[in-house]
Structure 1
Amino acid sequence: MRRLFIQFYLILMASFVVAVLLIGSLYEGTAERVGNRYLEYLVQDSLDRLCQELAQLPAEQWPAHMASYGQHLGMALHTAALAAQPLDAEDMAFLAAGNIVLMEADDTFVQRIGQSDQVLVVGPVPYLSFLHELRWVDVGLLLALGLSLGLPILLWLRPHWRGLQQLVSAAQRLGAGDLQARVSLPAGSSLAELGETFDRMAQRLQAAIAGRKLLTDAMAHELRTPLGRLRYRLAMLVSPLSESEERAIGRDLATLEHLIDDMLAYGRLTQPGFRLTPADWELVAWARGHLPEWQALGPQCRLSLVVEADPLPWRGDLGLLERAMDNLVANALRHARQQVQIRLQRQGQQLWLSVTDDGPGVPDEAVERIFEPFLRLDESRNRRTGGAGLGLAIVRSIAQAHGGQACVLPSPQGAHFCLQLPVHLDTNGHATLTDGAVAPG
């Protein structure tokens, strides 16, 4: 609120000052000039008479005569050299011609005494001094008026700010997974219409996410029942299947079961409010122990592990990390020609787990979309290698749940997938929405 108040107040004060300056310049150019000219006319007659009298007297009698005349006028009088007056050439010529000149610097009037080289100086004139003092009074009043505007602005802005704060709080809670978050502004609020629009949006979002999860879970669970029945009936066939037919049916059933597991896992990971169960782990020993299982996923390729730092402590959900690495390694083994490399390294407070293969790689135009769910870059390849397009989407969701990211890095040959995770970050404070991944710099 402070920033909004200061910005609004400064804009208002700037507009106020500009208006005052314009009015002041107009006043100074007209009313004040006219007033000064009128004052000159008032003293012109007295100065003319005095200068004529002084011109007829010897110079040594001037002080006494000016003192007497000064008491009558109520102002100080003295003489000065004409050449010493701080005037430009035009004003000096005007003064030398016998005209009266107003010296604004010291609030005095000056007039030449006859044809002498002396001038009569009258003042300072109290009225002119008062005008100068009045200017500072005006400045003080303007400042007081400007400062007094702050209170009504604050009183006017406060209810608007409260409404904005409620909107921000509700948006933050909604973004953090609290689908019950609502603004519920009072009807008299100036932001009531905006609040109602936000609440309707949140309600639709809650219904859409709940409907998507319900549909995914229902489909997954409903698919398990006919799969189980199919396996049972295949086992109860009177005429046994050939070995090749049995293997083909087994692969299809395993693919369906894997798809169901991926759908349930992806739906759970992208559900707002999903929370991890973090613990402290040492990843080098875990990776070495897990290497034989990964190798079993693709025995036709050589799988190697490169560790750049030992040990590698990490805090997170190891079950989800295993699933993410299983998906990355299985994806690399499906597309590799001969070898796959797993690399574990630490850079500052970031842990990088990368998987590279010597396969065809990822097309440049597909790098930004590779982690989207159900994405098929090559239909024929997917039919040959299997997979429904959820594996990499699950990897990205797991990375984001840990406050990290999954990305595709440039590689001279094949594909280079990287899972970047914080080492010591509290993992329960991160959203799991499937935003686009950004490759590390």
Structure 2
Amino acid sequence: MTSGLTLTSVEAVPDGQVLYGRLLRRLIPFLLVCYVAAYLDRVNVGFAKLQMLNDLKFSETVYGLGAGVFFIGYALFEIPSNMIMVRTGPRVWIGRIMVTWGLVSAAMMFVTTPMSFYVLRFLLGVAEAGFIPAIVYYLTIWFPSSHRGKASAMFLAGIPLSGIIGGPVSGWIMTSFHTFHGLQGWQWMFLIEGLFATLLGVVCFFYLDNDVASAKWLTPAEKERITADIAAEARTKPLHSAREGLTSGRVWLLSGTYFFFTMGLYGISFWLPTIIRDSGVKDPLHVGLLTAIPYTGALIGMYLVGRSSDRMRERRWHLAVPALVGAIGLAVSVMVAQNTALALAALTVAAAGTLTCVPQFYTLAPSVLTGAAAAMGLALANSIGSIAGFISPYLLGWVKDATGSTGNGVLVLGATLLIGAALVFLNPARLVNR
């Protein structure tokens, strides 16, 4: 692909820090906005719940099942989606994913029965399947591991940013547009946020490049430097083929680790608005504004840990410690649940620890995977993590219906973070600390 490129002089070799800084500025802001839209469309049902359950007479269990069934469709189509992506190229497939999930998300405004709720949430999972592993795979095309931790953390900052931006915006839409033209606030929220994702999907087709060679905004010397760095790194990785990405015991271990981390992640994502409301805050706009506080703490934590992980070239402790912090934060939030200020402080600690686990996990898998193995292995890990996304909200909904409190369910989620932290150390340091 780049065999025809040659450097004509030593002076032509680009400075690595400058070059990869340029790549970060070109790719990450747009991908970050896309991920904010994706994650918001996935979890905005947590805000819709504040009005929707009363309007449609849904129980907490119905909500929990509907929130979780998204991940059944997501898990079933994750690997097929990435297999198609390898053939079509990331640009077309990422754009297709965003257009279809945006349209399905907007269609959530038409939910009237539990069955229509389940069906549309399932279809939303099918539409979005493959998005995160496609982006993480896309980053492996452009960034060697020495720069990928920062790139991954910046991209996955979309999770807390969707809370910082999306929480207040969702609360504002639900409050300001309530009964406008005969539609409820939650219906307007689904429509507006879904169409925004669709628009971004169209932009993908024109803005993204499939690979380094097709990037017209890079010089030949810059292309050669990136390609050489990626190729040199690939020779040190043990897994290369698509079959290895699906069958290796090392990949299954990584997938199991991710399962336990996502249990905590989605517990926070789907239930944070409810937990804040149950502490005494009733207005949807105020709930939305308060959810921005834990996500701001998470954004700071993700940046600092990602930067430290790249600088020290250490991955395991930078993943295990945030998981431990997240578990402690969840446990304390249960103990002080009736005090809004203390509960919010504890949830901020929990969010900072739990959400930091996600970008740090995505520095582990590419350390042992390359090429087709990376695409398939990341898809497998995300599929198994998606099962946790189904179990987590359903478990909390069932516990709340059965006991009147989410506390015991939140403690279970904290325990899953501790299990994930322990599994991290089954990955040899010599493979992942790069």
Smaller-chain TM-score range? under 0.3
State the structure with more CA Rg: 1
Larger relative contact order (C-alpha < 8 A, sep ≥ 6)? 2
Q: TM-score, length-normalised on structure 1?
A: 0.17
Q: From the two aligned structures, give the one with the greater strand fraction.
A: 1
